[in-house]
Structure 1
Amino acid sequence: MSKIHIDSLTKSYNNKVILSDIFISCDKGEIKGLIGRNGSGKSTLLKIVFGTEKAESKFVRVGNKVIKNISDGRNLINYLPQDNFLPDNISIKSLINLFLQKENRKIVLENEYVKPLLNKKNQDLSGGERRIIEILLIIHSNAEFILLDEPFNGVSPIMRDYIIEYIKKMKSSKGYIITDHDYENVINLADSIVYLQSGFLKEIKDKIELVELGYMTKTTYNTVYN
């Protein structure tokens, strides 16, 4: 089974270490939840893995292939950034035809939420509609591993639940690393969880550890997980 392996990843800003010797891996068919406080470096970590941000050091491998730059990772790793990335003045149907290969286009073109939007331009969509289009394009790309940064940003509760179920449905064919400020949904969606704090990554084996680390209150833990 294919795996993405990230090791020895270090990043500093202005002589301050943001990410220190990070190790993280994800199997195909696995959803890995990446959680941590705002500003802890979660988005930076995903950008470095994808190749759009540099690091002092990193080692990324997918299967037997070492990924040294964004070109090496083409068709292996894809990334959903926090901010909208699709051009405005193009119809949704054209974007789907542009971004996806033929075998994947039909799936997205016939999606129940996408069909009413096909003839609209991206600039005319709501923030939530844009997000679902972006997520579907990333998930149905040829990449084996998907990095999702704030996938629930700007979407309604109904669309958030749809996205969660869609990711679960599609997880057998890809591996996912997901981070979002809506940490409860990340925790509930993920097969395994890692916590980023002060530049270091910790594997969470039991949710009670998040209380001990000061990330979650005991009241929240008792209400949601007990």
Structure 2
Amino acid sequence: MLKADSIYLEFDGRKVLQSIYIEAEPGKVTGLLGRNGSGKSSLLKVIFGTLEPHYKYINIDGQHVKKGYAGGHIAYLPQHGYLPTHQTIERSARMLVDVNDWDNFARHEVYQKFRLNKPGQLSGGELRKLETLMILYSKAPYILLDEPFTHVSPIQADEIKAIIRERCRIKGFIVTDHQYQNILEISDQLVLLQNGATRSVTDADELITYGYISGK
């Protein structure tokens, strides 16, 4: 299990994250919800290790870790593109995708069509789907996804959701997206980030109570 606890982060004297607890475990998808600017992306970066807060406690499989990415424990899809622009999709994929899952990854039409292209030659939706697929088929046992359904078509979003559910059998996920309906659909457990603190949500109706969505 991956546990992130007691994270405290300030920007220019403003408390962004405090009273934080979130976890992921193989077999489950944890959905992270919150309004724009609530700190969802910052939280994922802290867990991954690319943003250093004032305090954090990250535990992976019973071991305290300083950087989530160290040792290949966590794979992270950032909100913005991450693939090197100077190399082909195939070369990037060979670096990221687990060799044991290569055939499962390479069968996807979007890879077959664009594997010899560079990122700048793809549309935003095509590139986002490929970036997401590479993370989903990586070796890491824990996956953080920031906005995987943004910039993709509804059909592509449905395909990504199906793969998340398939990969969830052996991996733990934390997924966040502004399209909260997709998060509600795929999540086994929900966490709402509000006023810098996390709340465990056991029923979608609680999202109305907490003011995240309208009851109309």
Normalized against structure 2, the TM-score is what? 0.95
Partner of 1:148: 145
Question: Which residue of 44, 47, 50 corresponds with 1:46?
Answer: 44
1:161 aligns with 2:158: yes
Letter of the 1:96 counterpart: A
* Alignment-derived partner of residue 123 in structure 1: 120
Deviation at 1:71, TM superposition (A): 5.3
Distance 2:57 2:95 in 1: 31
Q: Quote the Cα distance in structure 2 between the aligned partners of 1:153 and 1:37.
A: 15
1:93 paired residue number: 90
Match among 25, 34, 37 for residue 36 of structure 1: 34
* Contact kept in structure 2, 1:75 and 1:141, CA below 8 Å: no
Q: How many residue pairs were aligned?
A: 216
Q: 1:57 aligns with which of 55, 58, 64?
A: 55
1:189 aligns with one of 186, 197, 204: 186
Distance 1:202 1:71 in 2: 25
CA distance in 1, matches of 2:99, 2:186: 30
Q: Which whole-Å CA distance do the structure 2 matches of 1:36 and 1:71 have between them?
A: 24
Identity %: 36
- Give structure 1 regions of 4+ aligned residues with deviation exceeding 3 angstroms: none
1:131–1:211 distance in 2 versus 1, CA, 3 Å? same
The range that moved more, 137-146 or 115-124, is: 115-124
CA RMSD of aligned residues (A): 1.3
Offset at residue 21 of structure 1 (A):
2.5
TM superposition shift of 1:70: 4.6
Q: Output one character per residue of 1:114-149: Cα deviation in whole Å (capped at 9) or x when no partner.
A: 211112222101111111111111111111100000
Tell me how far 1:104 sits from its aligned partner: 2.7
Hey, what's the Cα distance between the residues in 1 that align with 2:145 and 2:109? 22
Q: Write the letter of the residue equivalent to 1:116.
A: K
Distance of 2:208 and 2:103 partners within structure 1:
45
Instruction: Write the mapping of 1:96-115 to structure 2, written as runs, cut at 5 A.
Output: 96-115=93-112
Q: Which runs of 5+ in 2 are unaligned?
A: none
C-alpha deviation, 1:150, in angstroms: 0.5
- Kept after mapping to 1: 8 A contact 2:34/2:194: yes
Distance 1:36 1:103 in 2: 35
Quote the Cα distance in structure 1 between the aligned partners of 2:54 and 2:79: 23
SS at match of 2:84: coil
